[in-house]
Amino acid sequence: MVPFRDNGHLTARQKNFNYCLSSTRMTIEKAFGLLKMRFRILLDCLPLTDVAKIPQFIIACSVMHNICILQNDIIDDVAVCPNDGNDVSDVVAAGADVGNQKRVRIMNELRMRLGNENN
């Protein structure tokens, strides 16, 4: 999902959506970064020949990562993982109309978090 383009005429709801999207994206990127720091094998191509097993492998890493967190085996998040190329500017717009409709629906459902604006 992409933010609304800020051309200086965004509504309060659009600004709020962009703010929420940005903070959520940062949280998700941090979570994936910590997972990749714990399981460095996820940084490169996985050594699996059966493509059907790749999702199971990633889920297993995620489960083990969560178990480690529950056991207070916390990773220091000071280290930075290299950029994996998943930048918002690299996203190809496929089905843009459907995506725009979804973005507007989410924007309208979000609770306002910026200031005391009503719209």
Total domains, the chain: 1
Q: Evaluate whether residue 109 is within a structural domain.
A: no
- Across all residues in the chain, what is the average pLDDT? 81
The larger pLDDT score, comparing residue 61 to residue 103, is at 61
- Considering the domain boundaries, does residue 30 fall inside one? yes
Element (H, E) at 32: helix 12-38
Mean pLDDT in residue range 48-52: 88
Q: Render 43-97 in DSSP notation, one character per residue.
A: GS--S-S-GGGHHHHHHHHHHHHHHHHHTT-PPPTTS-PPP-S--GGG---SSHH
Query: Looking at the whole model, is its pTM more than 0.85?
Result: no
Could you tell me if residue 47 is inside a domain? yes
Least confident of 36-40, 66-70, 83-87, 97-101: 83-87
**Domain that includes residue 67, residue range:** 12-83
Quick check: is 88 in a domain?
no
What is the band of 101 on the pLDDT scale with cuts at 50, 70, 90? confident
Question: What one-letter code names the amino acid at 3?
Answer: P
Query: For position 32, what pLDDT does the model report?
Result: 92
CB of 69 within 8 A of CB of 75? no
